């Protein structure tokens, strides 16, 4: 979403919203035009930088009032609850069976910082999103009708079967979900953000503290590799709570063990990875660095070719 001083972006669900990238605006003057058609255009006059995710949260955290303004429904079950009972599930199953399109991106751990950042960037791209969350009420207040929310026991095969209805791609940003999945039926691409390189490089007390997370990360990678689904494993450096979009990247082998990366940048790479489905699997390391990436599809193809040349 790189742009000029007058960026224009469209969100493709209902009347559209404009979000500008982290390179673009902080203090903004926005003109919002709302019409009865499907599109709404907003023009922002950039003054100084602000985080891409922070800009989206300015809208998202407006909650029900802004959703009502934009005409989005509350999506509450008929009984007013937020639990999502079996009748609701069955209705969704029937709808997916009729549609026959697996174009939904399923995000695991939608309550986490990384999960939320990934969801926000998928929303901006106009992608259909389904998210696994623990607190459905809180997530509903945050994302409204832009995300289909599901909650339940990730080790329950029946629940996972329902959750994966209509899903074409899975993004897993935290450890522990993928080993529970017995079948990836319908899934065309699995994207895993892995901290395995960081855990393996730690020593002393830190290694002891990371031992459980390391085992989960190993199980995640083994699960996705043996899934018979095309996969992308993104081994990042240490995740930092710093704004994204301010640095370049380093894709060299061994970088993840020593380097770090903004959570926001890591979330973006997970989303961009959906644009390139490898024939079998792609594993690469990435941290923040000096390399500027303007074409993510081209960059991922280059990384894939580099991996192929090593074989």
Give the tens place of pLDDT for each residue, 293-309. 999 999 999 999 988 88
Residues 128 and 108: their CA atoms lie apart, in Å, by: 14
Using an 8 Å Cβ cutoff, are 104 and 110 in contact? no
Q: How many residues does the chain have?
A: 311
Using an 8 Å Cβ cutoff, are 68 and 131 in contact? no
Note whether residue 30 is domain-resident: no
| Res. 34: pLDDT tops 80 | no
User: What is the mean pLDDT of the segment spanning 28-44?
Assistant: 45
Note whether residue 135 is domain-resident: yes
Q: What is the DSSP code (8-state) at residue 70?
A: T
- Where is mean pLDDT largest: 79-93, 137-151, 196-210, 254-268? 254-268
Using an 8 Å Cβ cutoff, are 16 and 10 in contact? yes
Look at residue 61 in the predicted model and tell me its pLDDT: 52
Residues 165 and 45: their CA atoms lie apart, in Å, by: 42
Look at residue 15 in the predicted model and tell me its pLDDT: 35
Total domains present in the chain = 1
Q: Reduce the DSSP state of residue 284 to 3 states and report it.
A: strand
CATH code, domain carrying 214: 3.40.50.720
Note whether residue 7 is domain-resident: no
- For helices 52-60 and 263-272, give the axis angle rounded to 10 degrees: 80
Note whether residue 266 is domain-resident: yes
Alpha-carbon torsion (117, 48, 125, 83), positive or negative: positive
Domain of residue 121, residue span: 100-309
Note whether residue 207 is domain-resident: yes
Give the tens place of pLDDT for each residue, 51-76. 656 656 555 555 443 443 344 444 44
Note whether residue 199 is domain-resident: yes
Note whether residue 29 is domain-resident: no
Note whether residue 36 is domain-resident: no
Using an 8 Å Cβ cutoff, are 152 and 127 in contact? no
Within 10 Å of residue 52's Cβ, how many Cβ atoms?
Answer: 27
Residues 40 and 58: their CA atoms lie apart, in Å, by: 17
Using an 8 Å Cβ cutoff, are 169 and 106 in contact? yes
| Res. 174: pLDDT tops 50 | yes
């Amino acid at each position: 979403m790189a742009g000029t001083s007058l960026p224009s972006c469209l969100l493709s669900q209902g009347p559209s919203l404009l979000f500008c990238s982290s390179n673009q605006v902080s203090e903004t003057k926005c003109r919002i035009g709302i019409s009865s058609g499907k599109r709404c255009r907003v023009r922002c006059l950039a003054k100084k930088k602000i985080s891409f995710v922070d800009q989206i949260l300015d809208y998202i955290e407006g909650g029900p009032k802004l959703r009502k303004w934009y005409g989005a429904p509350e999506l509450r079950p008929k009984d007013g609850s937020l639990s999502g009972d079996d009748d609701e599930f069955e209705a969704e199953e029937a709808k997916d069976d009729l549609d026959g399109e697996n174009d939904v991106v399923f995000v695991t751990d939608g309550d986490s910082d990384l999960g939320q950042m990934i969801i926000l960037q998928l929303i901006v791209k106009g992608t259909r999103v389904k998210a696994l969350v623990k607190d459905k009420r809180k997530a509903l207040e945050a994302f409204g009708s832009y995300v289909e929310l599901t909650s339940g026991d990730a080790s329950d095969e029946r629940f996972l079967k329902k959750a994966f209805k209509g899903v074409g791609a899975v993004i897993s940003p935290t450890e522990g979900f993928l080993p529970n999945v017995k079948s990836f039926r319908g899934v065309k691409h699995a994207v895993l953000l892995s901290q395995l390189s960081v855990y393996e490089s730690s020593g002393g007390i830190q290694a002891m503290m990371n031992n459980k997370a390391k085992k989960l990360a190993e199980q995640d990678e083994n699960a996705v590799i043996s899934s018979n689904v095309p996969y992308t494993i993104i081994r990042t450096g240490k995740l930092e709570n710093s704004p994204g979009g301010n640095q370049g990247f380093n894709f060299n082998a061994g970088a993840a063990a020593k380097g770090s990366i903004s959570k926001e940048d890591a979330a973006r790479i997970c989303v961009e990875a959906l644009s390139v489905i490898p024939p079998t699997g792609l594993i690469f390391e990435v941290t923040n660095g000096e390399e500027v990436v303007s074409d993510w599809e081209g960059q991922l193809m280059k990384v894939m070719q580099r991996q192929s040349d090593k074989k």
